[in-house]
Structure 1
Amino acid sequence: MSHYKSYPVYKNSGVEWIGRVPEHWETLRIKRAAALRNERRNDLPNGWTYVGLEDVESESGRYAPTKGESRLSDDSMVGVFRAGDVLYGKLRPYLRKAIVTERDGVCSTEFLVLIAGRAVATWLHCWLLTPDVTQQIEAGCDGAKMPRADWEHVGSIPMPLPPPAEQSTIAAALDRETIRIDALIAKKTCFIELLKEKRSALITHAVTKGFDPDVKMKDSGVEWIGEVPEHWNTARLANIGSFSKGSGGTKADDADVGVACIRYGDIYTTYDTLIRKIVRFITEQASSSYTPIQHGDILLAASGETFEEIGKSSVYLGDENCVCGGDVIILRPVKIVDPAFLAYALASSVSQSQKKLMGKGFTVIHIYAGDLRDLVIVLPPKDEQRSISRHLEKKLASIDGLISTTQRSIDLLKERRSAFIVAAVTGQIDLRCQSGDLPISNDSRRVTCA
């Protein structure tokens, strides 16, 4: 952003976390520049759109509509918005969900409906999505698991305010730049999804067909597996391993050094198929209430948020003493099974589709060892298992490297996007000269009720 000029003269905003602002700007509380619309109704008028929290993307404030009308029951109470209002998601404000509306409609009561006054709607929208404002709003939220912001607190938060024409000019410049950055992020995100699909297909092919293109095939006898190499067999997990359940305390047991520990959440967020290095430790004293694991144990997450990901698994291939916490299912393979191969087999789409059918629950999905015992995999001879798992690890390392590099570039773009917005709405850069050919585009940040 070094090519953007600063304003000629600045003054202290009087708010420590905002800092200095251009001399001709005001700093006032949001409630002095916008008002809360508190209209409610329990129907969806013909031609109106319903907007739920799930229709607004986090951080970008992009409107991505689903079939909203089908989510309304006859007695649903909804908020009313008018053209030019700003919808701000008050549930879990860290998600940063806000949009500007173009026409009248109704929305989830989990939105604050804000009427733009002295603050131009697009300016208010930009300000509400800045990280510092999100932090200020979060600090005043009620509820630990489901934090909600209220208007009294949101309205009390300070906001820099240029003259109306300048607000529109800056918002227009932000619009163009953020759309450009968002387009780059979308392309890179799509590339990552393609790489993940390629990764999944590679694993599934390797553990059900192998890498020898000339091998003779036979019918596996299992409809969803199809043909397998002639010398391979199918096996239920019950016949190739023993199951046990993890146990343990809470994150309060965590320590910088101590006993290596794997929690069920780590399987989703921290580790991939193979675990060689542990990143979490617990105190020696707390470790006695956890379940010890050993090299080669398969760890499956016993609960999750979706059927598609339930039972995600990793194999522990480390050498240090390690324990696992509760909500982890431990599968200890017999000697004829290579642990790494089994972990890859459980990560295949063939296994995941079986686990999906075994999942139970609604808000939280659970899977149980009693059901996993019946999961069927394809099993080559052990020497071939080892060969396949080693070959897979090398091939996947290349794909994972590309995914990691691309994700880092996405993170940098998001940082640049956020920094640009903050610099613009606090007056650290002067975008007034950017105005002439920068009309506010009719893009998906705004609700079009067509």
Structure 2
Amino acid sequence: MTNLSGANLNNGAAVGPQGEGRESPSNFPKYPEYKDSGVEWLGDVPGHWNISPLKFSASCNDTVLPDSTDGDYEIEYVEISDVNEISGITGSTSYKFADAPSRARRMLQDGDVLVSTVRTYLRAIAPVVAPPENLIASTGFAVVRPRKGILDGAFLGYMLRAEWWISEVIARSVGVSYPAINASDLIGLNVPVPAWHEQTQIARFLDHETARIDALIEEQQRLIELLKEKRQAVISQAVTKGLDPTVPMKDSGVEWLGEVPVHWEVLATKRFFRMVADPAPENNDFELLSIYTEIGVRPRKDLEQKGNKASTTDGYWRVKRGDLIVNKLLAWMGAVGYSEYDGVTSPAYDILRPSRKLAPKFYHYLFRGKSAQQEFKRWSRGIMEMRLRLYFDELGRILMPFPPLEEQERIVDFIEEMEDKFDSLSQAASEQVKLLSERRSALISAAVTGKIDVRGWQPVVSTQAPKLEVAEAD
């Protein structure tokens, strides 16, 4: 059995607005005097702050890599997928200039801010901090560069990641598939420009406070990963070793299984599942089902984008509740699952139906485990990894544990009970990540628009280390 009581969420990111490390805009004083900024999305700003178009305090796309660049010159290329508003620049791709995409032209320097001008809804905005000389960005970015003595680069980095700025850029973008904004329109937007010493203090404050929030977010994300690993370990133990740690064991004779309870059978999959091919009738209105690696079998209408549905299900395979659906191409990645539904599915999938009494969900959990997936991969055929296919001829030969039916059902009940607990803990951690992210965004927006006065702020160093743990199995 497994004890979940040791999953500790009280690590400072915990709960409520007054929790440790949960600074809120309402915790800080306001400026003594405000004025109307004249800009709807900014509202009131401190009375002594200036408001002006960004182009008066920053330039845009100043330097580009010329076409005459030596073809052997090595660059680190940053594209939109390498950037996000929370983590900043997360990666780059090495190229020789001659082999680089034609979009690899924007030269970067410390203090610049990258703002994606295409697909702005992706929020690909990031400050550039101490970049290598060969870091080059896509022309899909506007490279905003602060003017010396007018705008601090760190302050600019936060200002252009404030929610009001991002929302305004998105709102002014045009186009359906690839909404975009012109760089000239982008730097024409009005922004607040505090005095230099206030900019640097605001940036210093946000560096400290966002680092605290980011650490708490990271703890919660790590907890989610630990719970995911723990969940898989619990399931794997249950479906290969049973629930009773005192039961005598025997060698299964199967390398990936190891020992199994002495009273379990070990059988080829074809001994208890058969593959069925039952074409759906024409003009049917059956539920269209798909198999997903993360969540198993679901009605496609529940998860697909509008307009991405099959026009007909004629010729699809009929599925009965209790069947297992196997995506031959992705079985080794977990695209196998129990169907809770009657319906139809693509003829590209195999439908496995029990040929003797068993608990299909037991095999849902077994087949989706890492050990079984590795075995599926070993038995799959194909000339390259992403083209591997697991046909039933091979799947049917793989040896699997076969406990007594009553024990299969008990194991399924146990796993479902444990999954409810894991889901509850994971959901709580995910909610904390959401709340912390919202708080981070609110704090940045409040500071760079002067809704809070941080001129007198000084960092307080906490001596209490956060705790994060998930109890081991009993």
Q: Confirm or deny a common fold (TM above 0.5).
A: yes
| Residue 352 of structure 1, CA deviation | 2.9
Structure 1: runs of 5 or more not aligned: 248-257, 439-450
Does residue 52 of the first structure (1) align with residue 78 of the second (2)? Answer: yes
* 1:224 aligns with one of 250, 256, 279: 256
| Aligned 1:54-73 pairs, distance under 5 A | 58-62=84-88, 64=90, 71-73=94-96
| Residue 410 of structure 1, CA deviation | 1.6
* 1:4 aligns with one of 28, 50, 75: 28
TM-score (norm 2): 0.71
| Aligned 1:75-114 pairs, distance under 5 A | 75-77=98-100, 78=104, 79-89=106-116, 92-93=119-120, 94-110=122-138, 111-114=141-144
Does residue 202 of the first structure (1) align with residue 216 of the second (2)? Answer: no
| Residue 168 of structure 1, CA deviation | 1.6
Separation in structure 2 between the aligned mates of residue 92 and residue 245 of structure 1, nearest angstrom: 44
Aligned to 1:398: 421
| Residue 184 of structure 1, CA deviation | 0.9
Q: Map Cα deviations across residues 285-311 of structure 1 (whole Å, 9 max, x no partner).
A: 98977876432233456788xx98x44
* 2:146 aligns with one of 113, 116, 122: 116
Separation in structure 2 between the aligned mates of residue 263 and residue 76 of structure 1, nearest angstrom: 40
Amino acid at match of 1:347: R
Amino acid at match of 2:427: S
Does residue 370 of the first structure (1) align with residue 395 of the second (2)? Answer: no
What is the percent sequence identity of the aligned residues? 28
What RMSD in Å do the two structures reach over aligned CA positions? 4.3
* 2:62 aligns with one of 6, 24, 37: 37
Describe the shift of the 1:234–1:114 C-alpha distance in structure 2 as closer, same or farther (beyond 3 A). Answer: farther
Aligned to 2:22: none
| Aligned 1:297-376 pairs, distance under 5 A | 297-299=323-325, 310-317=333-340, 330-354=351-375, 358=380, 370=391, 374=395, 376=398
Describe the shift of the 1:389–1:153 C-alpha distance in structure 2 as closer, same or farther (beyond 3 A). Answer: farther
Separation in structure 1 between the aligned mates of residue 347 and residue 163 of structure 2, nearest angstrom: 34
Separation in structure 1 between the aligned mates of residue 29 and residue 383 of structure 2, nearest angstrom: 56
| Residue 92 of structure 1, CA deviation | 4.7
Q: Give secondary structure in 2 for the equivalent of 1:386.
A: helix
Amino acid at match of 1:105: E
**Does the aligned pair in 2 maintain the 1:311–1:367 contact within 8 Å?**
no
Aligned to 2:275: 242
Separation in structure 2 between the aligned mates of residue 141 and residue 329 of structure 1, nearest angstrom: 44
Amino acid at match of 2:372: S
**Does the aligned pair in 1 maintain the 2:250–2:261 contact within 8 Å?**
yes
Separation in structure 2 between the aligned mates of residue 171 and residue 359 of structure 1, nearest angstrom: 56
**Does the aligned pair in 1 maintain the 2:272–2:356 contact within 8 Å?**
no
| Residue 268 of structure 1, CA deviation | 5.6
Does residue 136 of the first structure (1) align with residue 168 of the second (2)? Answer: yes
| Residue 390 of structure 1, CA deviation | 0.9
Amino acid at match of 1:344: Y
| Residue 244 of structure 1, CA deviation | 6.0
| Residue 222 of structure 1, CA deviation | 3.5
Amino acid at match of 2:128: V
| Residue 15 of structure 1, CA deviation | 3.0
**Does the aligned pair in 2 maintain the 1:10–1:20 contact within 8 Å?**
yes
**Does the aligned pair in 2 maintain the 1:245–1:329 contact within 8 Å?**
no
Separation in structure 1 between the aligned mates of residue 349 and residue 50 of structure 2, nearest angstrom: 55
Does residue 192 of the first structure (1) align with residue 253 of the second (2)? Answer: no
Aligned to 2:38: 14
Q: Give secondary structure in 2 for the equivalent of 1:109.
A: strand
**Does the aligned pair in 2 maintain the 1:340–1:389 contact within 8 Å?**
yes
Q: Give secondary structure in 2 for the equivalent of 1:190.
A: helix
Separation in structure 2 between the aligned mates of residue 246 and residue 165 of structure 1, nearest angstrom: 73
Separation in structure 2 between the aligned mates of residue 329 and residue 88 of structure 1, nearest angstrom: 46
Separation in structure 1 between the aligned mates of residue 444 and residue 233 of structure 2, nearest angstrom: 40
Separation in structure 2 between the aligned mates of residue 292 and residue 156 of structure 1, nearest angstrom: 58
**Does the aligned pair in 2 maintain the 1:44–1:106 contact within 8 Å?**
no
| Residue 260 of structure 1, CA deviation | 6.6
Q: Give secondary structure in 1 for the equivalent of 2:52.
A: strand
Separation in structure 2 between the aligned mates of residue 410 and residue 423 of structure 1, nearest angstrom: 20
Separation in structure 2 between the aligned mates of residue 63 and residue 259 of structure 1, nearest angstrom: 46
Aligned to 2:194: 162
Amino acid at match of 2:361: A
Describe the shift of the 1:199–1:161 C-alpha distance in structure 2 as closer, same or farther (beyond 3 A). Answer: same
Q: Give secondary structure in 2 for the equivalent of 1:242.
A: strand
Count of aligned residue pairs for this structure pair: 410
Q: Give secondary structure in 2 for the equivalent of 1:75.
A: helix
- Range that drifts further, 87-96 or 323-332: 323-332
Amino acid at match of 1:37: D
Q: Map Cα deviations across residues 2-30 of structure 1 (whole Å, 9 max, x no partner).
A: 22122233333333333332233333333
Separation in structure 2 between the aligned mates of residue 226 and residue 424 of structure 1, nearest angstrom: 59
Amino acid at match of 2:408: Q
Amino acid at match of 2:266: N
**Does the aligned pair in 2 maintain the 1:245–1:328 contact within 8 Å?**
no
Describe the shift of the 1:51–1:294 C-alpha distance in structure 2 as closer, same or farther (beyond 3 A). Answer: same
Amino acid at match of 1:9: E
Describe the shift of the 1:73–1:280 C-alpha distance in structure 2 as closer, same or farther (beyond 3 A). Answer: closer
| Residue 313 of structure 1, CA deviation | 4.1
Q: Map Cα deviations across residues 238-293 of structure 1 (whole Å, 9 max, x no partner).
A: 9614366999xxxxxxxxxx9976555xx467x4x6979x967999x989778764
Structure 2: runs of 5 or more not aligned: 1-24, 461-474
Aligned to 1:294: 320
Separation in structure 1 between the aligned mates of residue 79 and residue 329 of structure 2, nearest angstrom: 24
Describe the shift of the 1:21–1:391 C-alpha distance in structure 2 as closer, same or farther (beyond 3 A). Answer: same
Separation in structure 2 between the aligned mates of residue 246 and residue 177 of structure 1, nearest angstrom: 60
Aligned to 2:405: 382
Describe the shift of the 1:419–1:238 C-alpha distance in structure 2 as closer, same or farther (beyond 3 A). Answer: farther
TM-score (norm 1): 0.74
Aligned to 1:408: 431
Q: Map Cα deviations across residues 154-211 of structure 1 (whole Å, 9 max, x no partner).
A: 3344323222322221111111110011111111211221111111111112112222
Q: Give secondary structure in 2 for the equivalent of 1:225.
A: coil
Q: Give secondary structure in 1 for the equivalent of 2:222.
A: helix
Does residue 429 of the first structure (1) align with residue 457 of the second (2)? Answer: no
| Residue 425 of structure 1, CA deviation | 1.8
